[in-house]
């Protein structure tokens, strides 16, 4: 097989140009004085200082992380049982259910989110239904709840699919062995199924948390003008304010925070595998 | 013990699927709605489908979405597979490094990846457009292909290729006849992921596109605030295409199974007809779309006009009519704020016509971005209202020809708001707790500060920082005590439905609201307001100034201006159109918002000042943060 290694060369060049270089550029722009070009580079940390000394910006960062954590938790609480249920069905039913879950993902994410505006808005269908229960006055759109709903709606399928994959990959004889050895279903689930599905859970968390933390169209569409997250801040810097260097600095900050969080999550995974799975 | 139990699981599954499909069903239903409303279904109609077919914007977006996705999928699958094969036989250290690199687009927040691409194209001065979008899509798709092909290669017996070659196969044959067939499932699922990612992508496309190239997501995002149910029609079309493809996919294997008993591989092979079916349907749609273009002997045959205009700011027929008459093709890009437009222009994107507002025109003139109009080519100036000509930002109309104009005022529900309160308080009604929770603010820093400054009795063009700080305090008090909602163009539909009592609004939007709902009124405070105008200008780097002049004439002429104004609801700069539309039997008869106030000396036109703009920008984002903390 060695002779095929040359085939990787073009891709390595491409990856350096299209994947690595852009990140380098963000880093460069973020420490450059506003209005400078790469050629007349002059170093400054002002953009980072500006971000970290302003309580308003920090609040936005905190809020973005908080809502992403909430989204991830809800997706996990809803997604895990759903994936578990699917994995217990016959293969044919499984295929149908998985298809049902993937199908909406083929329809544009923005369009689906946009449809929620009509459903949630004042005088819309949901408010009318709630009206029957005497809750007609509840504000639905442009609240934190609507942003959260939009995120769960968009990202829940990722969680279900990931967990489902890891559950179906599992060796079923392990479950039988566990039952034969006298474990009740709850014990089997806790001691066997759950640890073995952990990689799927971790992948699911990554796939939900990452887009949730930096999403900017969901807060913009469902949160209204007053719901500002870190993604909106970055968009704003690039599209309407035009301070690219500050925008790059915010991007760097969020990228680094994400990297650290992801590393922490991976560590849990490795720790768990070393502790339980491997020795069993 | 397995079946027919688990009621909990079944209920959960049912609810979840209902949750996933509710918005899709909603969208399909409302694509047949008669009215513009997104909340009440008034009757069955196909008008949004007609609108969609006529709207070159949407059909082009559909074309862009699928052509980019297909190309990106094909290229990234090919490159990704080869790279995966190559990498798997490379040295371990290279493999590990590349694994990390591949993780970049997957482990980074998408917006960071998007900005990286944007900076890359800008730094190397690649003109943003279709090609950059395609490149970016290929770049973020390849890692997914590698990720799904790699495990299949690892699972292969490493001696397989050697064995083939020992038996006399060339390396190429070993690759195509032995290795690739073994990893086909991985390749197919990689391609499928790539296609899904590409079709659905918004963030990356949004940052790397240019020259009016838009995919569906970008169209939805840029028009989202002005309700345009055609998007529901387009989405329904997409749903139909996908359903057809899935039907083909599910029926084809049945037929194939009848022909051959070998059903072992059949399951995986489903994807091949899937891809083929998808391609076929799309090609047919595109062929139909591309086929509908006529030819003839017209003055600008084959030329292209690039217009950069506000979203939903042109009539339904003006663009096709203009194309029909001149033979030119119009590419229209939309912005939703002057600032967004400015950045693109300042970045050197070539447009032939822009439609900015007064203060922005002043800025563009000051910074030397505009060219003087050739008045010998313009025959429209006499048709325009005097009140909107010769304004301070361009005293002799050397650079600009007015398009729409109007005021900013308060839209109010006559059944909920006492007109005496309005007359007594003016803009201060936004601090009157009698209307708490019943108020919309408009998400525009200029107009919000205009309102606050006018309420306090200052000039809206003040440069005095104390006055600006006072206005900031006024706005913070407003958002903290009044439980406001800060909206943009949603206000139009929402006020037409009578959802709140009060809102800050542009006169043109108020016109639409009042035409839809007779309980609504429009009030301009005596302390003065903003008298604004948007005008057509030609940037210095325009590629086709002659055609631009032709369009300016066309849009200012009676037919074009009538189409624009009657569809959009904003006041036409064409005097005759304004008279007809507001006169007896006109669309806007009896609607005061349609006729701009010209006799109040407190009314002002916006003046651009870089320093104040920065202060106001900063303060306004803080007002918004205060508003989100008040929730």
In tens, the pLDDT along A99-137 reads: 888 888 877 888 888 888 888 877 777 877 887 887 767
**Token duo for residue B580:** 């007809």
Q: Which residues of A touch B83 (CB under 8 A)?
A: 7-8, 10-11
Share the mean pLDDT of chain B.
Answer: 85
pLDDT score at A277: 41
- Range of weakest confidence among A258-272, B348-362, B538-552, B602-616: A258-272
Measured CA to CA in angstroms, residue A100 lies from A25, A103, B186, B281 at distances of 41, 5, 22, 22
Closest Cβ–Cβ partner in B8, B337, B628 for A227: B628
Q: What does the pLDDT average to over B511-528?
A: 91
- HSE, CB side, 13 Å, CA atoms: give it for residue A239: 19
Of B2 and A170, the structure prediction assigns the larger pLDDT to A170
| pLDDT of B458 strictly over 70 | yes
Write out residues 44-103 of A within 8 Å (CB-CB) of B: 56, 59-60, 63, 78, 81-82, 84-86, 88, 97, 99-101, 103
pLDDT at B3: 46
Place of tokens 């295929």: A95
Q: Quick count: other Cβ atoms within 10 Å of Cβ A31?
A: 18
Closest CB to B119 among A26, A106, A153: A26
**Res. A72 pLDDT band, cuts 50 70 90:** very high
Q: What is the mean pLDDT of residues B101-107?
A: 83
B111: which chain A residues are within 8 Å (Cβ-Cβ)? 214, 216, 231, 234-235, 251, 254
- CA separation for the pair A255, B472 (Å, rounded): 33
- pLDDT at site B556: 93
Instruction: State in Å, rounded, how far the first CA of chain A is from the last one.
Output: 35
Tokens of B246: 């899935």
Q: Kindly identify which residue of chain B lies nearest to residue A245, measuring between CA atoms.
A: B119
- How many of the other CB atoms lie within 10 Å of CB of B267? 11
Q: Do B139 and A18 touch (CB under 8 A)?
A: yes
- Residue B293 burial (CB count, 10 A): 8
Q: What is the pLDDT of residues B17-37, one digit of tens each?
A: 999 999 999 888 888 988 777
Write down the pLDDT at residue A279.
Answer: 36
A238 touches chain B (CB under 8 A): yes
DSSP structural state of residue B383: G
The alpha-helical segments, DSSP class H, found in B292-381 are 318-326, 338-346, 358-366
Q: Cα separations (Å) of A172 from A169, A213, A275, B3? A: 9, 36, 21, 17
Q: What is the mean pLDDT of residues A44-71?
A: 90
pLDDT tier, B67 (very low <50, low <70, confident <90, very high otherwise): very high
Q: How far is A165 from chain B (nearest CA, A)?
A: 13
- Average the pLDDT over B220-237 and give the result: 75
Confidence of residue A276 (pLDDT cuts 50, 70, 90): very low
Q: Which residues pair with B521 in a beta bridge?
A: B412
B111 and A241: CB-CB below 8 Å? no
Average pLDDT over residues B304-321: 88
Residue of B nearest to A221 (CA): B224
């Amino acid at each position: 097989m060695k002779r095929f290694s040359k085939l990787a060369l073009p891709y390595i060049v491409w990856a350096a140009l299209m994947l690595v270089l852009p990140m380098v550029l963000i880093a460069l722009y973020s420490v450059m004085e506003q209005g400078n070009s790469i050629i007349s580079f002059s170093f400054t940390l002002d953009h980072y200082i500006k971000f970290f000394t302003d309580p308003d910006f920090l609040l936005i960062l905190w809020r973005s992380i908080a809502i992403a954590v909430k989204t991830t938790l809800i997706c996990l609480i809803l997604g895990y049982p759903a994936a578990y249920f699917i994995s217990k069905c016959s293969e044919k039913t499984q295929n149908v259910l998985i298809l049902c879950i993937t199908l909406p993902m083929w329809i544009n994410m923005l369009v689906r989110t946009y449809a929620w505006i009509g459903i949630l808005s004042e005088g819309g269908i949901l408010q009318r239904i709630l009206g029957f229960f005497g809750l007609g006055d509840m504000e639905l759109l442009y609240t934190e709840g609507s942003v959260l709903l939009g995120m769960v709606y968009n990202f829940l399928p990722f969680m279900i699919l990931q967990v489902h994959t890891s559950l179906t990959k599992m060796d079923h004889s392990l479950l039988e062995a566990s039952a034969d050895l006298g474990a009740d279903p709850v014990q089997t689930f806790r001691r066997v199924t759950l640890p073995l599905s952990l990689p799927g859970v971790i992948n699911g968390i990554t796939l939900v948390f990452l887009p949730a933390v930096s999403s900017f169209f969901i807060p913009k569409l469902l949160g209204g003008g007053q719901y500002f997250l870190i993604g909106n801040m970055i968009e704003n810097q690039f599209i309407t304010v035009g301070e690219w260097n500050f925008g790059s600095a915010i991007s760097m900050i969020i990228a680094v925070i994400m990297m650290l969080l992801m590393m922490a999550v991976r560590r849990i995974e490795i720790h768990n595998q070393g502790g339980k799975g491997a020795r069993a | 013990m397995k079946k027919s139990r688990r009621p909990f699981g079944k209920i959960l599954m049912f609810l979840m699927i209902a949750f996933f499909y509710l918005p899709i069903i909603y969208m399909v239903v409302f694509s047949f709605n008669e009215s513009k409303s997104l909340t009440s279904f008034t009757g069955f109609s196909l008008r949004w489908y007609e609108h969609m077919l006529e709207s070159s914007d949407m059909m082009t977006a559909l074309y862009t979405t699928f052509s980019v996705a297909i190309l990106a999928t094909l290229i990234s699958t090919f490159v990704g597979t080869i790279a995966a094969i190559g990498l798997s036989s490379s040295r371990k250290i290279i493999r590990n490094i590349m694994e990390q690199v591949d993780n970049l687009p997957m482990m980074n927040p998408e917006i960071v990846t998007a900005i990286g691409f944007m900076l890359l194209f800008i730094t190397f001065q690649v003109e943003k457009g279709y090609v950059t979008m395609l490149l970016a899509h290929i770049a973020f798709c390849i890692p997914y292909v590698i990720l799904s092909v790699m495990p299949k290669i690892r699972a292969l017996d490493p001696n397989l290729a050697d064995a083939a070659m020992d038996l006399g196969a060339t390396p190429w044959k070993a690759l195509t006849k032995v290795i690739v067939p073994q990893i086909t499932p991985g390749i197919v699922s990689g391609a499928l992921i790539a296609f899904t990612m590409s079709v659905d992508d918004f963030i990356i496309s949004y940052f790397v596109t240019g020259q009016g190239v838009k995919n569906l997501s970008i169209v939805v995002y840029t028009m989202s605030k002005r309700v345009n149910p055609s998007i529901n029609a387009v989405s329904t079309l997409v749903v139909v295409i996908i359903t057809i493809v899935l039907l083909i996919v599910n029926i084809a294997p049945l037929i194939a199974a009848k022909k051959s008993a070998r059903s072992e591989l059949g399951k995986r092979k489903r994807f091949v007809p899937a891809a083929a079916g998808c391609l076929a349907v799309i090609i047919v749609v595109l062929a139909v779309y591309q086929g509908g273009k006529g030819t003839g002997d017209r003055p600008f045959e084959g030329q292209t006009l690039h217009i950069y205009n506000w979203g939903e700011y042109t009539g339904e027929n003006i663009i096709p009519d203009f194309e029909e008459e001149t033979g030119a093709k119009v590419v229209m890009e939309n912005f939703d704020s002057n600032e967004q437009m400015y950045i693109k222009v300042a970045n050197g994107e070539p447009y032939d016509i822009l439609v900015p507002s007064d203060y922005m025109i002043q800025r563009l003139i000051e910074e030397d971005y505009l060219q003087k109009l050739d008045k010998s080519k313009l025959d429209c100036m006499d048709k325009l209202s005097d009140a909107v000509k010769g304004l301070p930002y361009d005293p002799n109309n050397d650079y600009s020809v007015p398009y729409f104009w109007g005021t900013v005022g308060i839209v109010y529900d006559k059944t909920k708001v006492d007109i005496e309160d309005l007359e007594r308080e003016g803009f201060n009604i936004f601090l009157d707790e009698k209307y708490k929770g019943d108020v919309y603010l408009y998400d525009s820093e200029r107009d919000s500060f205009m309102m606050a400054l006018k309420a306090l009795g200052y000039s809206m063009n003040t440069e005095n920082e104390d006055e600006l700080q006072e206005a900031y305090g006024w706005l913070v008090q407003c958002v903290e005590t009044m439980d406001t909602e800060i909206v943009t163009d949603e206000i139009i539909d929402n006020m037409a439905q009578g959802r709140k009592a009060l809102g800050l609004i542009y006169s043109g939007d108020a016109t639409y609201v009042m035409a839809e709902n007779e309980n609504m009124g429009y009030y301009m405070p005596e302390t003065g307001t903003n008298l604004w105008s948007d005008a057509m200008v030609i940037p210095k780097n325009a590629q086709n100034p002659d055609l631009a002049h032709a369009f300016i004439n066309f849009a200012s002429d009676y037919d074009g201006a009538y189409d624009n104004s009657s569809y959009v609801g904003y006041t036409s700069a064409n005097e005759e159109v304004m008279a007809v539309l507001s006169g007896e039997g006109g669309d806007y008869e009896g609607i005061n918002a349609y006729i701009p106030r010209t006799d109040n000396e407190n009314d002002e036109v916006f003046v651009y000042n870089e320093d104040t703009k920065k202060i106001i920008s900063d303060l306004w984002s803080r007002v918004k943060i205060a508003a989100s903390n008040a929730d």
